Chain A
Amino acid sequence: MIKNHFILFLRNLFKYKLFSAINIFGLSAGIGASLLLFLYIGNELSYDDFLENKENIYRLRCDNLNNGVYAERMAVTNGPIARASKAAFPQIEEYVQMNNAYLEGVVSTGNYKFRLKNSFYASEAFFKVFSYKLLKGDRNTALKEIQSIVLSESMAKKFFGNEDPMGKIIKYNDRFPLKVTGVFEDVPPNTHMKFEILVSYATLLRNFNNYVETEQAWISDETHYTYLKLKPGTDIPKLEAAFAGLVQKKIGHLLKAKNQDKVFSLMPIKDIHLNSDFDSEIEENGNKQTVIFFAIIAVIILVIGWVNYINLSIATSFNRYKEIGMRLVHGATKKQLKYQFMIEAIMINLIAIVISIITIKLIYPLFSSYTGMEINSTALKNTKIWFVFLGIILLGSFFSSIYPSYILSSLNPVQVLKGKNQKTIGGFSFRKILIGTQFAISVSLVIGTIIVLKQVSFMKMEDPGITIEETVIVQRPDVIDSTWSAKHESFKNELKSLAFVEQVCFSRQTPGELINYTQGFIKDINDIKNPSFLMYNNFVDHDFLKLYNLKLIAGNDFMNGNKDLNVIISRRALKTLSYKTPEEAIGKIILNEGWNVKHKIVGVIEDFRQQSPKEEYLPMVFMHCPNPRVAAKYSIKIKTNDMKSALTGIEAKWKSIFHDEVFEYFFLNEKYDNQYKSDIQFGRIFLLFSIIAISIACVGLFALTLFTILLRKKEISIRKVIGASVNDIFMIFAKDYMILVLIASVIAIPFMYFVMNKWLQDYAVKIPLSIWFFLFPVFLLVLIVGISISSLVLKTTSANPSKNLRTE
């Protein structure tokens, strides 16, 4: 029996090629698009899932409060808390501290030099707590001794080739020797802590003369990632509360004097990737909202595909009335018929799955380079996701087959054989609802796409208050010694002597970066009880304002007096410190709390976008401090038509002064625009999936119209003979669909207005929502519907009517 159904299914598939093709196209586009999204979601959900004991590993993090208000919310903690809490709370089995803020510069051997990134100081228990695979060395002792370094497999290969790296020496910033005590398997991409090099934490403690364990470090050295392995069944809220007690005991008096507070909280390691968005994250984490949003899109696209399937199956089932009638006459029960049509539905879904997987394999590289959405191989191995996906597909095939098989199996054999009810069977009103749903989804997706893309270009168009064009950023050399100062000056001067260089400056950070140095400032130094305000600091030399075209609204550049104690503040900082006018602030002394240093305000500049217009203006304090320990980047403003030779010129100067130090540069505007990357990607994904959804809906509509027209061929011919124009006939078919478009729009527009307003809330600069963003998609849909109907109507009406009438 199954064989019989199978053969019949295949013959029908080939007999009605156009309808089969449309059906399969709709389903495989839907399945393929949603599979891509599912894999992406699976990838996002798999973060840190491979760790053993993951349910007992928590990250400790810290919030700072000023006067009871949250001032800083960080992914990091200070150094001493780890040891103190382990001593105080028996629930803590082990702690791991990691730090990358103090691990800067290069590590090198004779044959390979690596500028440190993805590298951490890590404490002894690291491999006891985290189940990363150690290929060489001892899990318990690899990070115990001072000056131990543990490398990833591929890093070891770069340094030592095929030699055994164990016991070999790697130099840190040309001076400190580190001994290789272990090699670990390369870390999988689905972890929030991607590391290639670990150096024993004991090394950090020694290098910084145990500063990280002092009382001062309790307050201000918030650079350490702290992970705790807790005893199973630990009461988390209770432990968090206990941390408050510990903080009071240790530094309560310090905090009280400044009216500050520190709040520690715990987060399960598995939750970090999608739920953690604090200052100083190890990497920019994923976004739960995006994951949820993509999940919704995935399901919507699948639904559109199945809706098409249902519509087409019912419409084309007319072709099979005779077969159904015959089967009923020969004793098939309704159950048997339902069973047959369900098998067909599952078959066609299976074909679509196979096609979509092949297509995904083929287009994946293109897709991933366009959208920036990467799916790594671990996601493909995530069996949970595959089960969920296949479950959804099977359920979907099942449900999408129920309605058509119900309709078909409930036919009356006598009427079918007499040829009655051909046009009315199948509940056109139900099909109308389905088509209306597709229209509403399509309009919604187009509205979303337009607003996302418009918002991105709106942000790019906005004046950031700063000039970032034609600027090249060069990283300073890694090794700093006594000759540095002289070399630095001559490098700057040599650059300025080049004809195409307009300006050179040296600063800690450049525009487009998150300012990672913040301190509290107190307005009136005569009254120490005044509240302190958090300011974002950048350390610059006196050419910074000129080079970046920052507008002074009061005072001067760093020209006169004690430059190193003079500061320039931004308008937002002026407001934060509650000075009434820019002029009022000039000459005032503010106290830098962290350093306990008094600064004089010598200038006020207009606000500018340190980061993209996504972010609010920052209260900025510029300090004059070209010290290489603090500052790291040369900004070089270039005016030339030949960028390539300009870069060669700069590199030549670098070589002549810094010799074989690594020369690294980037164009600032590219880096700045990089901040829009995730928005652009989001927009592109939106665009891509809208196009897929709309094409599925369109071919479905096309097929359905074609079918109705075939059924009503005779009617069209008669009307034409009587004297109807092509227009009249077009209206007969278009009217129903246009009403549906209207209803769909009435539902979709307010819904999307609500959703997109919500989405825009996250942006400091928002595009005003124009009515055209909402009306254009409707016009587009009307146009598409109109074109597909008119092309079919034209084809039918241009035929000789007598031919259509004769066949009856």
Chain B
Amino acid sequence: MIELKNIYKYVTVGGNKTFLLKDLNLTFNEGEFVSIMGPSGSGKSTLLNVIGMLDGFDEGEYFFLHESVHKMKEKQRSQLYKQYIGFVFQAYHLIDELTVYENIETPLLYQDYSAGERKAMVSDMLDRFNIVGKKDLFPEQLSGGQQQLVGIARALIAKPKLLLADEPTGNLNSKQGQEIMELFKKLNQEDGVTIIQVTHSEKNAEYGSRIINLLDGRIDK
């Protein structure tokens, strides 16, 4: 599904190149649940952003569903990721001024769905996550776990093939974290969603079928 070949990303500070990602070669297959681990600053989030096409890279090749992302224009990339990729963030990043319902609906606004379709899809999602009763609440009225649930619902609303999660449980207590991880596992096994997550916790990493360890922008073998 995803193939990264010799990916480099660096910043130049005072004439010296500091590598954020250095010569990464990775393949992710459809249906995988992969955990990326590593200490702070090892490039986990950068890698995730590169995969999610939110961030660029300086050298190398990136194939997504056999299409060469590195040759695409921004518009094409945006077309690609809004169709296939969902994001989940550590800090949830819900829009404070929108209700639960509207937050979940947001991604659909940027794709061609009619108002009726949007309504059906959001209701479906609310049902599935058991949060119908909270649909008119604002993020600040929810607990952290509930907010992350909404964040995941939002990530899944457009039926992505790939879910990218950047420390999804980092701001949650262990019980809430566990629930989220169970949900991920279920999504992966029952719905066949490919998941790549960044995490600090060994325990959470175990939920994945494969663990990649990063150190200073490289794969730590």
Interface positions of A (Cβ within 8 A of B): 1, 4, 7-8, 11-12, 15, 322-323, 325-327, 329-333, 336, 413-414, 417
12 new A-B contacts at CB < 8 Å, known A325-B93, A327-B106, A336-B110: A4-B109, A8-B98, A322-B96, A330-B87, A330-B107, A330-B154, A331-B82, A331-B110, A332-B110, A333-B75, A414-B54, A414-B55
B78 within 8 A of A: yes
Verify if B95 is at the interface (C-beta below 8 Å from A).
Answer: yes
Kindly state whether residue B25 has any CB partner on chain A within 8 Å.
no
Candidates B89, B94, B107, B154; contact of A331 at CB < 8 Å: B107
Is the CB of B111 closer than 8 A to any CB of chain A? Answer: yes
Task: For residue B175, give the distance in angstroms from its CB to the closest CB of chain A.
Answer: 26
Q: A8-B97, A331-B82, A333-B78 are in contact. Are A326 and B110 (CB under 8 A)?
A: no
Is B207's CB within 8 Å of the partner chain A? no
C-alpha gap A584/B101 in the complex (Å) = 102
**Is there contact, CB below 8 Å, between B110 and A322?**
no
Question: Which of chain B's residues have a CB closer than 8 A to the CB of A323?
Answer: 95-97
Chain A residues closer than 8 Å to B96, beta-carbon distance: 322-323
What is the bound-complex CA distance between A630 and B110, given in angstroms?
86
Contact A330 B106 (CB under 8 A): yes
Which A residues are CB-close (under 8 A) to B111?
331
A-B contacts at CB below 8 angstroms, number:
56
A329 and B95 CA atoms in complex are apart in Å by 12
Contact across chains for A413 and B54 when beta carbons are under 8 A apart: yes
**B63 at interface by CB-CB < 8 Å:** no
Bound complex: CA of A1 vs CA of B105, how far in Å? 10
Expressed in whole angstroms, the Cα–Cα distance for A333 and B78 within the complex equals 8
Contacts of A414 in B (CB 8 A): 49, 54-55
Q: Judge whether A417 and B93 touch: CB under 8 Å.
A: yes
Is B81 touching A331 in the complex (CB atoms < 8 A)? yes
B153 CB to nearest A CB, Å: 13
Asked whether B102 is an interface residue with its Cβ less than 8 Å from the other chain, the reply is yes
Please judge, given known A-B contacts A8-B97, A414-B49, whether A326 and B106 are in contact too, CB under 8 Å.
Answer: yes
Q: Which residue of A lies closest to B157 (CB)?
A: A330
Chain B residues near A333: list those with CB within 8 A. Answer: 75, 78, 110
Asked if A329 contacts B87 (CB within 8 A), the reply is: yes
Q: Collect the chain B residues with CB atoms within 8 Å of residue A325's CB.
A: 93
- Asked, given contacts A15-B97, A414-B55, whether A7 binds B102 with beta carbons under 8 Å apart, the answer is yes
Report the separation of the CA atoms of residues A501 and B96 in the bound assembly, to the nearest whole angstrom: 82
11 A-B contacts, Cβ less than 8 Å apart?
Answer: A4-B102, A322-B93, A322-B95, A330-B82, A330-B106, A330-B154, A331-B78, A331-B82, A331-B83, A333-B75, A333-B110
> Which residues does chain A contribute within 8 Å of B110, judged by CB atoms?
327, 330-333, 336
Closest chain A residue to B109, Cβ basis: A1
Bound state CA distance, A325 and B106, in angstroms? 12
Measured between C-beta atoms, what is the minimum distance from B94 to chain A in Å? Answer: 8
Instruction: Count chain B CB atoms within 10 A of each CB in A330, A333, A413 and give the residue with the most.
Output: A330
How far is B49's CA from A269's CA once the two chains are assembled, in angstroms?
73
A322 contacts across to B, CB distance below 8 A: 93, 95-96
Bound Cα distance A11, B54 (Å)? 28
Known contacts A4-B109, A414-B49; A326/B93 CB under 8 A: yes
Q: Which residues of chain A are within 8 angstroms of B97 by Cβ–Cβ distance?
A: 8, 11-12, 15, 323
Q: Give chain B nearest CB distance to A319 CB in angstroms.
A: 9
Residues of B35-79 at the interface with A, using a CB-CB cut-off of 8 Å, are: 49, 52, 54-55, 75, 78-79
Contact with A along B102-126 (1 / 0, CB 8 A): 1001110111000000000000000
B residues less than 8 Å from A331 (CB atoms): 78-79, 81-83, 107, 110-111
Select from chain A the residue with minimum beta-carbon distance to B52: A329
Set of chain B residues within 8 Å of A417, measured between Cβ atoms:
89, 93
Determine the chain A residues whose CB is within 8 A of the CB of B78 once the complex forms: 331, 333
Cα of A519 to Cα of B75 in the assembled complex, Å:
85
- The closest CB in chain B to the CB of A10 belongs to B97
Q: Kindly list chain A residues whose C-beta atoms are within 8 Å of the C-beta of B107.
A: 330-331
157-180 of chain B: CB within 8 A of chain A:
none
A591 and B87 alpha carbons, distance in the complex (Å): 104
Chain A residue nearest in CB terms to B108: A330
From residue A149, how far is it (CB to closest CB) to chain B in Å?
72
Q: Which residue on chain B has the smallest CB distance to residue A323?
A: B95
Q: How far is the CA of A331 from the CA of B107 in the complex (A)?
A: 7
Taken together as a complex, chains A and B put the C-alpha atoms of A414 and B107 apart, in Å, by: 17
Nearest to A3 among chain B residues (CB) is: B115
Shortest distance between the CB of B100 and any CB in chain A (Å): 14
Tell me the bound Cα distance from A15 to B139 in angstroms.
14
The answer for the CA separation of A417 and B95 in the assembled complex, in Å, is 12
The complex places the Cα of A330 from the Cα of B81 at a distance, in Å, of 8
B94 CB contacts on chain A under 8 angstroms: 326
Task: Give bound CA distance, A298 to B93, whole Å.
Answer: 44
Closest-by-CB residue of B relative to A419 is B91
User: Which residues on the B side are within 8 Å of A330 (C-beta)?
Assistant: 82, 87, 106-107, 110, 154
A387 to B: closest C-beta gap in Å: 35
Residues of A within 8 A of B75 (CB): 333
**Chain B residue with minimal CB distance to A5?**
B109
